[in-house]
Structure 1
């Protein structure tokens, strides 16, 4: 761990992979604060003009994909703000904060995350279909014929390109996952 941000651990991954749960255990083990994107995101979005009325309109007229696309620049901004404000901590991103379809936004986030040596992608399994199945069960996902956002998060290349390590959580207790991450980052 030699980078200037080597004490930070950043957890990324789809919805329901255990980022917050594992982050809490890591923070306790390392005696570091835990910083959850979900706690800060909306205040950061407001800083650059997030419009709730427009967001609701997009959701109603364009469905989830419309609101998801509207969120992307706000998510990128939130990542930059969170990391600029919080140092020496365990960070758990919201699932969408590490997935970008727009190349410019992705490159921006890739550059922001480049100095961080401990970016951990949490997935249930190396088999993507199995990961999707497990996450759908965990999140009680019922298909309505529209985009399965977690399938998008699992299959999209962003998480894999940003992560320095991938940890598979299937059949592991959060404490086991925590120990594996500590070994990977050289703290165990």
Structure 2
């Protein structure tokens, strides 16, 4: 299978709350299309450092001001990471962690929307069009696979990411994964359903 000529932005970007299968699907799509796969959660440390942040600094700020406030302080670094990753990984399949499309400061969302507007396909993944069904499925998946419910210090991050309009604003389409296998979802994403 010959590869198409590379483009100047990722070929496909997967977004959505934790537990939607972005990494699993991204790897499968990349393998089937013979493109590189980039998981921004795994690759972002260098980009955060460019913006004066690190995971250690985030932990220190969480201890000092609480998780919610620290997450807000960290937003510019997350937005910077998205913009840099989009520029650095043309023709890749990329998965963005939930926090990379969820911002309280509108300017950070504008930065991310501008970067992602160069991408041909930004796919928002959700289990169901029904919000409550999606939240239940995602909570179950996160608890089973990562041992975390995403309710931290009384704040429900999973519900926050699910309800955040930023992810919908950056997406070019939304795919509801229902009870499909990764192979079935990948075929649908690639237009071979």
Task: Return the TM-score normalized by structure 1.
Answer: 0.89
Does 1:147 pair with 2:155?
yes
Structure 2 stretches of 5 or more lacking a match? 1-6, 144-148
The residue aligned with 2:190 is 182
Q: Judging changes above 3 Å, is the alpha-carbon distance between structure 1 residues 84 and 145 closer, same or farther for their aligned structure 2 residues? A: closer
The count of corresponding residues between Structure 1 and Structure 2 is 182
The 2-side partners of 1:96 and 1:134 are apart by: 19
Is 1:115 the equivalent of 2:118?
Answer: yes
Q: Which residue of 2 aligns with 1:31?
A: 34
Find the aligned partners of 1:111 and 1:7 in 2 and give their Cα distance: 14
Instruction: Give the corresponding residue for 2:4.
Output: none
Instruction: Indicate the residue corresponding to 1:164 in structure 2.
Output: 172
Cα distance in 1, alignment partners of residues 108 and 151 from structure 2: 29
- Which stretches of structure 1, 4 residues or longer, exceed 4 Å deviation after superposition? 4-7, 51-54, 142-145
C-alpha distance in 2 between matches for 1:162 and 1:49: 25
Q: 2:136 matched to which residue of 1?
A: 133
Structure 1: gaps of 5 or more residues: none
CA deviations 1:32-85 (Å, max 9, x no partner) are 110110121112111221155653332123322122112211100000111111
Other-structure match for 2:88? 85
Superposition TM-score, scaled by structure 2 size: 0.87
